[in-house]
A and B are shown apart, each in its own frame.
Chain A
């Protein structure tokens, strides 16, 4: 590569990364700002971290968000993987149609799922609470897990499974000893994707949370009237750090399992 091209590429890459990360860095910096108003710097403080942990509303909503994300991830990963296995391995009548049905939740706007669920709950006389958030989250995340796992399976060598069976392993053993370890990176990626989507999800949560089950995005949105408090900056900083650690950890695990 010519030095000039190298230089241009370097500048370009730097700009792209600045575009990604500058807002996050500013957000983190302002979590240490003394002023309650987000954009004026008045002094350095840790007080927002202290008041964050005594703010019951925020802590509750974080707990809700985490519970919902974990349960959603578990359900979506199990069923998404099962669906991927079924679609990848077997031919059956209506396979195309079923495959297609799995793509719909990916492209359908969340607001439609949300309003449909709210109407359904109204019709069934269900009272909103934390449990009514799961179906919506699971419905949109299953498809993502399935798509990621199927992509992983496409590169799978079918002869490995055949060899296992040939050597006397039954279906169950073949799955856990051969198939699952091979598709594991895909399953993990799907699970992480599901977790992130569920944690971020706003529209469906907004319509399906009931008394005391606000998720974090819903709570933050409800604060706009008075300007978002720096406690949220503090919380975001903690979350960004946790996510960075998580990504590093799983990145390592994935490269090991390869």
Chain B
């Protein structure tokens, strides 16, 4: 009897193992399946002629795109599928770190990802990206010159601008006269109506700018000083909130340190809201299209990037989501009203005055996290 039981137990465990490994087998089947079909010529590749020296000129049947959530309208994908016969498998992530973790594990074969500027620099240093063949991306010339050749990728060898935005001040014009600066957040008259980004890096960068200290390479003393200044702001603060659009719309918040996208959402619903980059600078970010070295369909990815840079397509992106478009062709298609929206397109001199986020060493980030928590606890 006892032997029988042992046998039964062994069978149960064996079955469990088989169940697990057959799941894995299913996955490998999936991928080999897609490899088989990826070599098929699906036609419709008018643009293929522009890259004769390239060995990989046929469009794959599938393209794995990994992008931020709520960042690409479905019609853009559908139109591409229709025009080129390539199925776009679209997945989303919520942070650069998540995307890096997945790519770094070597278990995914994404063809395009969309990292933020300073993350592109890190990915280039870590050899995670493939060089772009610019012959396949002639539409790159549509991108405004200001956004070419950024520090993290001089020469745009690896990355193409996607959309950008800023962190600045959203404010309610019925309560605040003139154009506010970061210093106005400390104004006692606005006590209880101020919101600050709920993010150590963002909020401390704002204070550093206000104190005229270096935002991208702060020393420990700089940060301690910024912490003390942030603590002084505390009595004014209604909320530490990275999405204060609801408070702005309801009129609870008068002046918010926030993303331009959030301000854009609030402006659509409440005409009293405006947005500006402060005289201290403000911060800019830009997300970029890159091809990670896990990609098996580099040519198709380049065709897709080129498609995204077409003025009409690019305009669809910034129409659907409240971010700014670096594509001059798309800007030309917009109405004067859209182009002069201060949340989306701050004046050129404000852009020039603002700072870009750069990658910080982990110790500095940890210190920022700790100081920020201390302010919030106190």
**Nearest chain-A residue to B89 (Cβ)?**
A212
B334 within 8 A of A: no
**Nearest chain-A residue to B2 (Cβ)?**
A92
Contact A210 B23 (CB under 8 A): no
B319 within 8 A of A: no
Minimum distance in angstroms from B277 CB to a CB of chain A:
20
Contact B92 A214 (CB under 8 A): yes
Minimum distance in angstroms from B87 CB to a CB of chain A:
9
**Nearest chain-B residue to A127 (Cβ)?**
B31
Contact B105 A82 (CB under 8 A): no
- Docked complex Cα distance between A98 and B6 (Å): 12
* B107 in complex: contacting residue of A38, A92, A118, A222, CB < 8 Å: A118
Contact A35 B269 (CB under 8 A): yes
Minimum distance in angstroms from B21 CB to a CB of chain A:
9
Query: Which of A79, A82, A127, A218 has the most chain B CB atoms inside 10 A of its CB?
Result: A127
Query: Which of A35, A36, A129, A224 has the most chain B CB atoms inside 10 A of its CB?
Result: A129
Minimum distance in angstroms from B126 CB to a CB of chain A:
16
B333 within 8 A of A: no
From A11-19, A131-139, A180-188, give the one contacting chain B: A131-139
- Docked complex Cα distance between A38 and B247 (Å): 11
Interface of B is mostly: helix
Known contacts A37-B245, A131-B23: A211-B92 contact under CB 8 Å: no
B contact residues, range: 35 or more
Contact A135 B2 (CB under 8 A): no
Known contacts A79-B12, A131-B24: A40-B109 contact under CB 8 Å: no
**Nearest chain-A residue to B30 (Cβ)?**
A129
B90 within 8 A of A: yes
* B63-108 interface (Cβ within 8 A of A): 64-66, 68-71, 74, 89-94, 98, 101-102, 105-108
Minimum distance in angstroms from A103 CB to a CB of chain B:
17
B161 within 8 A of A: no
Contacts of A132 in B (CB 8 A): 23-24, 27, 107
- Docked complex Cα distance between A43 and B266 (Å): 16
* A105-132 interface (Cβ within 8 A of B): 118-119, 121-122, 124-129, 131-132
B348 within 8 A of A: no
Contacts of B93 in A (CB 8 A): 222
Contacts of B185 in A (CB 8 A): none
B365 within 8 A of A: no
**Nearest chain-A residue to B16 (Cβ)?**
A79
* A55 in complex: contacting residue of B74, B109, B265, B322, CB < 8 Å: B74
Task: Tell me how many residues of A have a C-beta within 8 Å of chain B.
Answer: 52
B261 within 8 A of A: yes
Contacts of A160 in B (CB 8 A): none
- Docked complex Cα distance between A143 and B27 (Å): 25
Annotate A7-46 by CB proximity to B: 1 below 8 A, 0 otherwise: 0000000000000000000000000000111111010000
Minimum distance in angstroms from A221 CB to a CB of chain B:
5
Contact A122 B105 (CB under 8 A): yes
Contact A38 B92 (CB under 8 A): no
Known contacts A126-B24, A206-B98: A138-B19 contact under CB 8 Å: yes
Known contacts A56-B74, A86-B12: A211-B66 contact under CB 8 Å: yes
- Docked complex Cα distance between A161 and B5 (Å): 18
* B68 in complex: contacting residue of A126, A206, A222, CB < 8 Å: A222
- Docked complex Cα distance between A120 and B193 (Å): 50
B243 within 8 A of A: yes
Known contacts A127-B107, A211-B110, A219-B92: A79-B19 contact under CB 8 Å: yes
* B106 in complex: contacting residue of A122, A135, A206, CB < 8 Å: A122
Minimum distance in angstroms from B25 CB to a CB of chain A:
8
B8 within 8 A of A: yes
A65 within 8 A of B: no
Annotate B236-257 by CB proximity to A: 1 below 8 A, 0 otherwise: 0000000101100110000000
Known: A40-B246, A55-B74, A210-B108. 10 other contacts (CB 8 A): A90-B5, A126-B28, A127-B30, A127-B108, A127-B109, A128-B27, A206-B98, A211-B108, A223-B70, A224-B243
Can you list 16 A-B pairs with a CB-CB distance of less than 8 A? Answer: A35-B269, A79-B19, A125-B106, A126-B28, A127-B30, A127-B31, A131-B24, A138-B19, A211-B108, A213-B91, A221-B69, A222-B69, A222-B92, A225-B68, A225-B69, A226-B322
> 10 smallest A-B Cβ distances: which pairs?
A222-B69, A212-B89, A211-B64, A222-B92, A131-B26, A39-B246, A222-B94, A131-B27, A223-B69, A226-B70
